Amino acid sequence: MPETNRAIVFDSPTKLTLESLDFPKLQMPNGTKAPHGVIVRIVATNICGSDLHIYRGSFPVPQGMVMGHEMTGQVVEVGSDVQFIQPGDLVSVPFNVACGRCRNCKNGRTDVCQTVNPQVHCGAYGFNLGDFQGGQAEYLFVPYADFNLLKFPDNDAAMEKIRDLALLSDVLPTAFHGLMEAGVKVGSTVYIAGAGPVGRAAAAARLIGAAAIIVGDYDKERLDLVKRNGCETIDLSQDIPLADQIEAILGVPEVDCAVDYVGSEAHGIGHEAHELQPQAAINQVLAATRAGGATGVIGIYGPDPLADTKEGQEGTFPLDFGKVWIKSPRVSAGQAPIMSYNRDLMMSILWDRMPYLSDMMNTKVISLDDAVGAYETFDQGSANKYIIDPHGLISA
Ligand SMILES: NC(=O)c1ccc[n+]([C@@H]2O[C@H](COP(=O)([O-])OP(=O)(O)OC[C@H]3O[C@@H](n4cnc5c(N)ncnc54)[C@H](O)[C@@H]3O)[C@@H](O)[C@H]2O)c1
Ligand SMILES: [Zn+2]
Ligand SMILES: [Zn+2]
């Protein structure tokens, strides 16, 4: 085994560095031995909109933390308590770190595992959520491997579709979680706020048989990617109320299901499009959902030290709750329990049920050396979903 691990490390807001760290050990962040864990050689590790919150400084993390939570790789070392995962297995790593033993994990709620993070009931790689190092690196330690890892049935078949399968660690299951929480089913009309990678992955709602899938954003290039793959689009930079734009498409001003794939870095509509309005997207999806419909909130909300209001800094955003209460809103929010969806979505990819995915996601494979530069480009709104290929295995 090599002695070092090249990794993208957080230094300070907008400053990341590529460093050579020690090879990871089978050990929990608090130093206890982890015979239930494995070491994964990373094959694909994507850059996410959630990484941008860290990069910009709105989600504080310690200096020296390895970035990244979207990993796919090959197991190279297994602990003595690991039963079902073996060296050589090609696996997807859900971004949630979960123990598989607590009440929430037993109920499939791996997004709120009660034991892996002493601060709050939620663990993730490459965040300040349990001190698990991220996977934008050559190697990664994964605890409770039998529980957490999704093994691909056949390595060669998986490598052929690796750009799509790499989306199973976060964006695709996360996008589907939003759709499920918003009650999307055959024939639904759906509003998707945000055409970033997660919003675009949600446009795969056609897999479930949604009727009209409407995606709203300002970014023309991102909207074009979904438009050419069968979605309706709304350009929010136009000074036209969202309800009128929805009505122009559907004949009615509301949809059955709406999902916020934006979070608290949202902007206003039309002449307010250049204004940061942390509560804009969540209020827009609440307003866009019909009485008796449902709303999912996937975009991240939390105290943001960079917000220019006291409410934003404290994470107490004003919601239009009084306006929409009478519609009996059903609202679901929080991190996605990846494990609830990743196996089924893997099968859909392996059986070619989402042939439009690669084009819609516009994935671009880059080396670890190019990753810091890709953060800068993604931060400026690039329409690519970057997949870092630390060992050159995808390119090969
Ligand atoms: N809940 C989870 O488990 C989970 C998992 C992954 C990502 N996320 C979060 O989901 C969000 C989206 O991730 P991403 O990678 O696609 O991010 P991204 O930053 O690339 O995309 C966000 C998009 O929203 C657009 N936007 C801004 N204001 C808007 C508005 N009012 N209405 C519609 N669109 C608007 C932006 O122009 C941008 O294209 C982020 O907040 C991310 O942190 C949550
Ligand atoms: Zn992510
Ligand atoms: Zn747990």
Q: What digits encode the pLDDT tens for the residues 347-380?
A: 999 999 999 999 999 999 999 999 999 999 999 9
Sheet of 212-217, strands arranged across: 232-235, 212-217, 189-193, 255-260, 289-297, 330-333
Helix (H, G, I), strand (E, B) or coil at 277: coil
Q: Closest Cα to residue 178, out of 261, 286, 272, 81?
A: 261
Architecture in CATH of 171-333: 3-Layer(aba) Sandwich (3.40)
Residue 192, H or E segment: strand 189-193
CATH number of 4-170+337-388: 3.90.180.10
215 Cα–ligand 2 center, Å: 19
Residue 214, H or E segment: strand 212-217
Structure tokens at 219: 């970014």
Q: pLDDT band at residue 238, thresholds of 50, 70 and 90?
A: very high
For residue 218 and ligand 1, the question of a CB distance below 6 A is answered with yes
Q: Closest Cα to residue 42, out of 141, 163, 130, 172?
A: 141
Q: pLDDT band at residue 24, thresholds of 50, 70 and 90?
A: very high
Q: Is the CB of residue 164 less than 8 Å from the CB of residue 348?
A: no
- Tens digits of residue pLDDT in 128-149: 999 999 999 999 999 999 999 9
Average pLDDT over residues 227-239: 97
> Where do the domains of the chain lie?
4-170+337-388, 171-333
Distance, in Å, from the CA atom of 139 to the CA atom of 239, rounded to the nearest integer, reads 48
268 Cα–ligand 1 center, Å: 14
**Shortest-distance atom of ligand 1 to CA 334:** 1
Query: Rounded to the nearest 10 degrees, what angle do helices 171-181 and 342-350 cross at?
Result: 110
Distance, in Å, from the CA atom of 111 to the CA atom of 335, rounded to the nearest integer, reads 6
Does 254 score more than 80 pLDDT? yes
Query: Rounded to the nearest 10 degrees, what angle do helices 280-288 and 242-250 cross at?
Result: 40
For residue 276 and ligand 1, the question of a CB distance below 6 A is answered with no
What pLDDT sits at residue 394?
Answer: 95
Average pLDDT over residues 209-237: 97
Count CB-CB contacts under 10 A for residue 370: 16
**Measuring from atom 5 of ligand 1, which residue has the nearest CA?**
174
Distance, in Å, from the CA atom of 340 to the CA atom of 336, rounded to the nearest integer, reads 9
Distance, in Å, from the CA atom of 196 to the CA atom of 49, rounded to the nearest integer, reads 8
Q: Is the CB of residue 101 less than 8 Å from the CB of residue 168?
A: no
- Tens digits of residue pLDDT in 147-201: 999 999 999 999 999 999 999 999 999 999 999 999 999 999 999 999 999 999 9
Distance, in Å, from the CA atom of 197 to the CA atom of 163, rounded to the nearest integer, reads 13
Query: Rounded to the nearest 10 degrees, what angle do helices 371-379 and 49-56 cross at?
Result: 90
Q: Which has the minimum average pLDDT: 10-14, 238-242, 298-302, 312-316?
A: 312-316
For residue 170 and ligand 1, the question of a CB distance below 6 A is answered with yes
Does 305 score more than 90 pLDDT? no
Indicate the average pLDDT of the chain: 96
199 Cα–ligand 2 center, Å: 12
Pairing of strands 189-193, 150-151: unpaired
What pLDDT sits at residue 204?
Answer: 86
Pairing of strands 70-78, 4-12: unpaired
Distance, in Å, from the CA atom of 317 to the CA atom of 336, rounded to the nearest integer, reads 21
Does 246 score more than 80 pLDDT? yes
Q: Closest Cα to residue 70, out of 170, 174, 175, 197?
A: 170
**Measuring from atom 15 of ligand 1, which residue has the nearest CA?**
49
The secondary structure of residue 59, as a DSSP letter, is S
Q: Is the CB of residue 47 less than 8 Å from the CB of residue 55?
A: no
Question: At residue 231, what is the residue type?
Answer: C
Exposure on the CB side of residue 282, measured as CA atoms within 13 A = 24
